[in-house]
């Protein structure tokens, strides 16, 4: 077909979409591009730019996978917009109807404060009700953990959370949980996993048009569907549960005296996290003023992600000014938690802990709390997280499981009492929230810090204690953000064709292609796109594409024993040197 024919086919697609798009804003966006693309009295460069813009918006539908939907806001099938969300909601309800043998589903729906979130949640509720279901809307913009809690607490058949978590301001997303009568057992209330994602995607693809989807008030009346805005009692129930997670190991005066700086990073967790901590007995919690209120533009950070360099600058400045003991940072939907602690040996006097360090501290705490339980307890972490948690579990006589990356896998491990992943995600109360929860994790972290502080000890000292017992587990990420998505597949193929034979001066003794399924110590691990290398020195490297962002991610770990009587700092220095060698070798092998 000629270029002109290709263009006409594209323009026909656009015109058809415009006729079916319920949102005047995205209709106007497409009509303006159409005007330029049709070439009436415009420069050729303007016409080509408009055609390219339309081609991108219509390059295919947003993929519905185990992360649900996530993408840039805008018009067309390859963007997040009301038309795409209505189709997704219709596909989800059709899947639920099929799973429930025709019964009407109950779906609880939450949303954050990003652009479009409330409208997407309302559209989802109208689709559920229009198809005869019961839609339960959260009472305002709230954190993702509240939605995850509500799925189990209300025994809903599904949950939908409209959020793009820590993505840039121009993005939004659509996360799906299953429970109630659809999924029972350990996976109840967790995010979707295969084959549910593919089955929902198939139902979405079968939606003929937005206009064909029942969602108006008269449809709900005809089908018996309902929309109910939940009361504050749900939020109170979550607050009460999260605030109860303090332990008997820490005294009330110790909690009351701990000075905490908290930032929600312009997200929806600030007020709730502050109230949870206050209810848990932490009386001195200062919110970072510039980041306390929800703001979809995230004006004070380059990326609204606590992992990103500079994201905690305002919080650390407030901590220094207020002589704080602890900094806690949630991402915008408050499902992640970052921690910083005083460190006199560091420039600025504060150090942000890695996700693996926090994961180990919370893991040791969880293991102590679970050791006396009669029920067999399991600690779990993603395969890309540090192996230290497995050593902690063994030392306490508990089981450990490694899973694929993502809390959709971690949270459904049978017998789970604690799970984490290195990307600042912690599940400390799986009985209530089968997902990462940055607010309940903040309670546990603050409780641990208060107990140590009362003993004249520090979080850094607790990490040294773990190192003496289990060795220094030094980890580092090597992440490359790409503009050309093909570069990701080229990187993976390069490593598959020419894997490294030595890393950091030690021979690679085990190279595993995770596409084949299984991994060292985890023979039942499902297949995933990733590569794992183990060296004779015990170092480990895992390389994988990001599941939610255009990134290649490498996860590096060095394990260095601490000799009897040796200062931990000496072992850390050796581990740090080898870690730098590992970074250099992996960068070269992967062409990064």
Catalytic residues: 165
Q: Is 339 helix (H, G, I), strand (E, B) or coil?
A: strand
CB atoms within 10 A of CB 19: 11
Q: Is 129 helix (H, G, I), strand (E, B) or coil?
A: helix
Strands (E), 18-128: 69-72, 106-111
Q: How many residues does the chain have?
A: 592
Q: Hey, what are 454's tokens? A: 């009362």
**What CA–CA distance (Å, rounded) separates 291 from 293?**
6
**What CA–CA distance (Å, rounded) separates 495 from 8?**
41
Q: Which residues contact 40 (CB under 8 A, 6 or more apart)?
A: none
Rg (CA), the chain: 25
CA 236 to chain centre: 24
DSSP codes, 276-319: HHHHTT--EEEE-GGGSS--TT-TT-SSS-TTSTTTTHHHHHHH
Strands (E), 179-258: 190-191, 226-229
Closest of 445, 449, 440 to residue 257, by C-alpha:
449
Is residue 437 within 8 A of residue 350, CB to CB? The reply is no
Q: Which residues contact 535 (CB under 8 A, 6 or more apart)?
A: 502, 503, 504, 506, 507, 508, 509
**What CA–CA distance (Å, rounded) separates 382 from 430?**
16
Closest of 406, 355, 467 to residue 193, by C-alpha:
406
Instruction: Please calculate the CA angle 258-312-443 and round it to the nearest 5 degrees.
Output: 35
Closest of 342, 91, 129, 124 to residue 219, by C-alpha:
129
Closest of 151, 161, 338, 362 to residue 238, by C-alpha:
151
Q: Is 544 helix (H, G, I), strand (E, B) or coil?
A: strand
Closest of 13, 446, 16, 408 to residue 178, by C-alpha:
408
**What CA–CA distance (Å, rounded) separates 400 from 390?**
5
Q: Hey, what are 440's tokens? A: 């309940």
Q: Hey, what are 391's tokens? A: 């050593």
Helix (DSSP H) and strand (DSSP E) numbers for the chain: 19, 22
């Amino acid at each position: 077909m000629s270029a002109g024919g290709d263009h006409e086919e594209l323009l026909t697609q656009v015109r058809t979409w415009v006729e079916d798009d319920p949102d005047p804003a995205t209709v106007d966006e497409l009509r303006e591009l159409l005007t330029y693309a049709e070439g009436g009295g415009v420069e050729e460069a303007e016409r080509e730019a408009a055609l390219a813009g339309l081609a991108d918006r219509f390059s295919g539908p947003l993929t519905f996978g185990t992360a649900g939907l996530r993408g840039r806001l805008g018009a067309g099938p390859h963007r997040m917009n009301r038309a795409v969300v209505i189709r997704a909601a219709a596909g989800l309800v059709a899947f639920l109807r099929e799973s429930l043998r025709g019964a009407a589903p109950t779906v609880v729906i939450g949303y954050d404060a990003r652009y479009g979130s409330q409208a997407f949640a309302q559209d989802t509720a109208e689709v559920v009700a229009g198809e005869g279901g019961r839609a339960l809307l959260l009472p305002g913009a709230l954190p993702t953990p509240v939605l995850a809690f509500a799925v189990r607490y209300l025994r809903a058949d599904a949950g939908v959370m409209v959020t793009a978590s820590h993505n840039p301001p121009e993005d939004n997303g659509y996360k799906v949980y299953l429970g109630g009568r659809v999924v029972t057992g350990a996976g109840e209330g967790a995010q979707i996993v295969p084959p549910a994602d593919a089955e929902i995607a198939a139902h979405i693809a079968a939606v003929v048009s937005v206009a064909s989807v029942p969602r108006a008030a008269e449809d709900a009346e005809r089908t018996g569907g309902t929309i109910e805005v939940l009361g504050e009692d749900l939020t109170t129930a979550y607050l009460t549960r999260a605030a109860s997670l303090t332990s008997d190991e820490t005294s009330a005066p110790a909690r009351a005296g701990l000075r905490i700086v908290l930032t929600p990073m312009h997200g929806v967790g600030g007020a709730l996290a502050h109230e949870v901590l206050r209810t848990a007995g932490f009386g001195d919690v200062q919110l970072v003023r510039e980041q306390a209120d929800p703001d979809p533009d995230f004006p004070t950070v380059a990326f609204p992600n606590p992992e990103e360099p500079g994201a905690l600058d305002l919080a650390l400045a407030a901590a220094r000014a207020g002589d704080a003991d602890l900094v806690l940072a949630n991402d915008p939907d408050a499902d992640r938690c970052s921690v910083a602690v005083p460190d006199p040996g560091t420039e600025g006097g504060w150090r942000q802990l890695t996700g693996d360090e926090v994961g180990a501290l919370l893991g040791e705490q969880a293991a102590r709390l679970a050791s006396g339980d009669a029920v067999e307890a399991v600690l779990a972490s993603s395969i890309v997280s540090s192996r230290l948690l497995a050593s902690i579990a063994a030392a306490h006589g508990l089981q450990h499981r490694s899973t694929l990356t993502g809390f959709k896998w971690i949270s459904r491990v049978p017998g789970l009492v604690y799970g984490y992943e290195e990307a600042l995600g912690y599940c400390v109360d799986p009985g209530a929230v089968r997902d990462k929860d940055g607010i309940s994790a903040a309670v546990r972290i603050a409780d641990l810090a208060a107990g140590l502080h009362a003993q004249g000890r520090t979080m850094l000292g607790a990490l040294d204690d773990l190192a003496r017992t289990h060795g220094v587990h030094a980890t580092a990420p090597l992440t490359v953000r790409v503009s050309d998505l093909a570069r990701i597949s080229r990187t993976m193929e390069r490593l598959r064709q020419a894997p490294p034979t030595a890393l950091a001066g030690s021979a690679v003794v085990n190279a595993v292609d995770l596409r084949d399924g299984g991994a060292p110590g985890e023979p039942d691990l499902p297949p995933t796109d990733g590569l794992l290398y183990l060296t004779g020195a015990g170092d480990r490297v895992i390389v994988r594409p990001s599941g939610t962002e255009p990134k290649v991610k490498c996860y590096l770990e060095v394990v260095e024993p601490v000799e009897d009587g040796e200062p931990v700092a000496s072992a850390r220095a050796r581990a740090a040197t080898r870690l730098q060698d590992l970074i250099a070798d992996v960068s070269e092998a992967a062409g990064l």
